[in-house]
């Protein structure tokens, strides 16, 4: 039972860590890198208005989001594997699948360009796997 709780906690902690990294990078994207885009998007709740804004967004803004997803997924995979100890890579892969599903949900709510769909489906799982692989077996036993 304790093992199941530890596994669940590892995945939840990895998901939270990934989300925090992604939010920080997306905040930097909207406030520092593309502040005009961030200001234009404040207070928009209508789906069609969001779609129109994203249609005019520069490709660089989307690339920063993808970079944030890669970094966040890697950090989350690392943390999940570190906490889990044994089977760290499996925990990283489970986290990668959950992050990919969250990315699909995000893409359905805020429709991005088609190329972004493909990129988001391709980067999250391998990044979480890489993060989990970066935990050495000696580190995960502590």
Residue 31 has pLDDT above 80, yes or no: yes
Opening angle at CA 65, ends 43 and 8, nearest 5: 100
Q: What are the two backbone dihedrals, phi and then psi, of residue 11, each rounded to the nearest 5 degrees?
A: -70, -40
Report d(CA 142, CA 137) in Å as an integer: 9
What is the span of the domain harbouring residue 62? Answer: 2-140
Tokens found for residue 138: 């000696």
Q: Report residue 48's pLDDT band, with 50, 70 and 90 as the boundaries.
A: confident
Check if the beta carbon of residue 14 is closer than 8 Å to that of residue 79.
yes
pLDDT tens-place string over residues 78-108 = 999 999 988 899 999 999 999 999 999 999 9
Number of domains in the chain: 1
In which band, very low, low, confident or very high, does the pLDDT at 28 lie, cut at 50, 70 and 90? very high
- Per cent of the chain over pLDDT 70 is 94
């Amino acid at each position: 039972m304790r093992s199941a709780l530890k596994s669940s906690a590892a995945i939840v902690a990895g998901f939270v860590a990934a989300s925090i990294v992604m939010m920080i990078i997306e905040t930097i994207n909207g406030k520092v890198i593309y502040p005009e885009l961030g200001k234009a998007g404040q207070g928009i709740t209508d789906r069609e208005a969001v779609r129109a804004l994203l249609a005019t967004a520069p490709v660089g803004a989307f690339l920063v989001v993808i970079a944030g997803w890669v970094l966040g997924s890697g950090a989350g995979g690392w943390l999940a594997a570190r906490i889990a100890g044994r089977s760290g890579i499996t925990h990283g892969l489970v986290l990668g699948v959950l992050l990919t599903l969250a990315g699909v949900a995000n893409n359905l709510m805020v429709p991005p360009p088609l190329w972004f769909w493909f990129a988001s489906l391709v980067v999250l799982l391998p990044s979480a796997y890489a993060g989990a692989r970066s935990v050495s077996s000696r580190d995960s036993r502590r």
